[in-house]
Structure 1
Amino acid sequence: MEIGPGIPRRCLCGALTVLLTSKTKENPGRRFYRCGAVFGENHVFKWADEALVEEIEALSLKQSSMENDLIEIKEQLLDMKKDLTEIVEVVAVFSTKLRK
């Protein structure tokens, strides 16, 4: 059983996963994650190499999203600076008029 993309940290039963090394003829030395409490059909199993690729892909998407958010925040900050400059100019004009 697999749960979601990336490195499985918990099994659906709630147990933490463990990272083990295969000793089978088909996959000697290949690392895998599995339920730390129970080995069986209804518990998590995922090859580590596949989990790591998925984890990197997910992190890449998150990074891209954060970069886009940062660009948007910078644009909003520039707009706020322009607004503030206009407010300061208006206050200066009113201040000058009030002194006369």
Structure 2
Amino acid sequence: MDIKMEMGPGILRRCPCGALTVVLTSKTKENPGRRFYRCGVVFGENHLFKWADEAIVEEIEALAEKQVAIENGMLEIKEQVIEFKKDLTEIVEVIAASSKHLRK
């Protein structure tokens, strides 16, 4: 049996037909005890089938990419906060100088 209908990276929650996926365990000689995802309604062509170990590795890789993007976003925000603090300091200084000048 060589059904290989992978619909995308990672752990897929739904088959393209809309059905939820289920996790089962292979009982074949080739893959005894190996877990897999498949369509929860139909087993066959054009319905999801994916080995769980492969899906989990893909999921971890996708999460690692997201983490890098979040870290980069945080660095940008940190730089913006530093710039805002500098601007605020300048504004406070201008207000203090203007206030002092108006009192004279």
TM-score (norm 2): 0.95
Give aligned-pair identity as a percent. 76
1:62 matched to 2:66? The reply is yes
Alpha-carbon distance between aligned partners in 2 of 1:51 and 1:45, rounded to the nearest angstrom: 10
Structure 2: gaps of 5 or more residues: none
Runs (4 or more) in structure 1 with deviation over 2 Å come to none
1:84 matched to 2:88? The reply is yes
Alpha-carbon distance between aligned partners in 2 of 1:21 and 1:10, rounded to the nearest angstrom: 18
Alignment of 1:1-100 (within 5 A): 1-100=5-104
Alpha-carbon distance between aligned partners in 2 of 1:8 and 1:29, rounded to the nearest angstrom: 20
CA RMSD for the aligned pairs? Answer: 0.5
**Count of aligned residue pairs for this structure pair:** 100
Q: Which amino acid aligns with 2:11?
A: I
**Corresponding residue SS for 1:32:** strand
**Corresponding residue SS for 1:9:** coil
**Corresponding residue SS for 2:22:** strand
Structure 1: gaps of 5 or more residues: none
TM-score (norm 1): 0.98
The Cα shift of 1:21 comes to 0.2
